[in-house]
Structure 1
């Protein structure tokens, strides 16, 4: 088998369903499998997978043992030569995996390969490519200068060597993952992606960024970006520093100050409210079943006209590819009064997000 896509899920049933539909479309022509590891979700994620995606390998954990252990369990059962660690709150394009499979085969001693991530508003997520967060770099970021923290030496649409990738999307040979021992289970959530990226580099491999393919990462669906997140995230960074850098009093002081300052200064995120005057459904079929559930005028079009302010575009994945949907969201991101949702094929819900810092919006409806 060529590829195993491993998705760790925790209580994000609808995001998982959208993700799985996009992944299924992306592996149609590949010898590939999908593995979902569920960390004891209290929603009906597992039943949804069993009913809607019977071909998916489902691992049901009886406890929530965190990101690292959950993914390690999934990779242990993977049959693919290559693996992709993928968040459930993502949407991949139909050519994402085929593009990166071809790319990784052409590279010298490849380790992890990352791609371009955008949020639900179409804006580039700079954590798609990062540098090693050495204390000086991390402190500058905490003080409001993140330039060196992110890998700005490579353009967001470019290709090049990049040290660190985000755990929402990591593509690599399974043998590389196993050679470095997978994700370090000392991390419960956050920091493990930095750790494995650094371990791969120290093992002599090269990490590559390929910005020619983009995916959506709604970001923040399994956990909100609040003070609890800050405590856990910077605690994970402390583990990373202790493991990989020589300790001294100045170093420890800088790390301690950074962690405490970030935790104290971080504020609760505010949910972004978006004004919507009109719903524009991009579809090649009749979508009258949506009208009773939308409280503003609805227009169904097969191609996008000139957009009026405060329009929400609903992309019908039944008639448009995920690749074209991602590209359109990317193209219209500069019109700040425009918002987006995706209507998955054969689904009774829509998903969108107006901010990378707050939870996305799920709109449920039933088709008559």
Structure 2
């Protein structure tokens, strides 16, 4: 098997169906399988997906929802592909995207993972698709919306062209085309992360092991992200900031002064509480 496509479903029948269909819409010069993991959906989305796709898709039914990372790992444990594509259930794959990136990976054996240009529903770039690794300095500028002219502090790599191909630090978990050999070396997703931060952590480990991370801006997907103005579930806000804490503690706390760590942890806590408070006043949509 050349490619294993892994999709985690959680009560998103229509979105997941459309994502899978966007793959089936085209022919490919390689063999592939699609594995859908249902994270203990409380609705009937799993049974509906099984009825709709029948034996065209492999399904794994989780008995409990242990998060996005854990859901993906269940599929990675049984994936047969030389490459693995981690793909969000709210994405649409464009024509030639998988073929182009597969071909690029075949020609560049030093690349551990490749991402593509990820577009939001309104056509704008999802900035998470090409990033630097977060650190204390660039996170400070980003979280407090402080402009900086320093490339070292540019977390979102805004000045790099969207439609080109080049090496970066970090991809988005919405689309990660990964060499299985690299995964076997560094390990699967860290299940300490529930649904944020696991992509950054995995990219960090892949690069640390000596593999390249590539942004392939010549190919695209659409990511149907919820608008930032919508009211969010409190758990999602909490998990977002908890992921910051987990990532920093895992990769950076040992190289920082004690007082720096205290300031970072306190800052994450304050931002989380503030975001939860402000979210109470947002209207549902």
In terms of fraction of residues, the more helix-rich structure is 2
Cα 1:224/1:109, change in 2 over 3 Å: farther
Cα 1:254/1:108, change in 2 over 3 Å: farther
Residues in 2 aligned to 1:28 and 1:160: alpha-carbon distance in whole angstroms: 24
Q: CA deviation at 1:232?
A: 1.1
Q: List gaps (5 residues or longer) in structure 1.
A: 273-368
TM-score, length-scaled by structure 2: 0.89
Aligned: 1:136 with 2:142:
no
Residues in 2 aligned to 1:14 and 1:163: alpha-carbon distance in whole angstroms: 33
Count of aligned residue pairs for this structure pair:
271
Residues in 2 aligned to 1:262 and 1:149: alpha-carbon distance in whole angstroms: 18
TM-score, length-scaled by structure 1: 0.69
The residue correspondences of 1:288-367 to structure 2 (distance < 5 A) are none
Cα 1:248/1:174, change in 2 over 3 Å: same
| 2:163 aligned counterpart, secondary structure | coil
Query: If you compute each CA radius of gyration, which structure gives the higher value, 1 or 2?
Result: 1
Q: Deviations over 1:190-238 (max 9, x none)?
A: 11111001000111111000111111111249x9645432221111111
Aligned position for 2:174: 168
Relative CO higher for 1 or 2, CA cutoff 8 Å, sep ≥ 6?
Answer: 2
Match of residue 158, structure 1, among 154, 158, 164: 164
| 1:77 aligned counterpart, secondary structure | coil
Does the aligned pair in 2 maintain the 1:36–1:59 contact within 8 Å? yes
Match of residue 209, structure 1, among 188, 209, 215: 215
Residues in 2 aligned to 1:161 and 1:123: alpha-carbon distance in whole angstroms: 21
Aligned: 1:265 with 2:274:
yes
Residues in 1 aligned to 2:62 and 2:27: alpha-carbon distance in whole angstroms: 26
Does the aligned pair in 1 maintain the 2:116–2:219 contact within 8 Å? yes
Aligned position for 2:257: 248
RMSD: 2.0
Does the aligned pair in 2 maintain the 1:160–1:208 contact within 8 Å? yes
Q: CA deviation at 1:113?
A: 0.5
Q: CA deviation at 1:178?
A: 1.8
Aligned position for 2:151: none
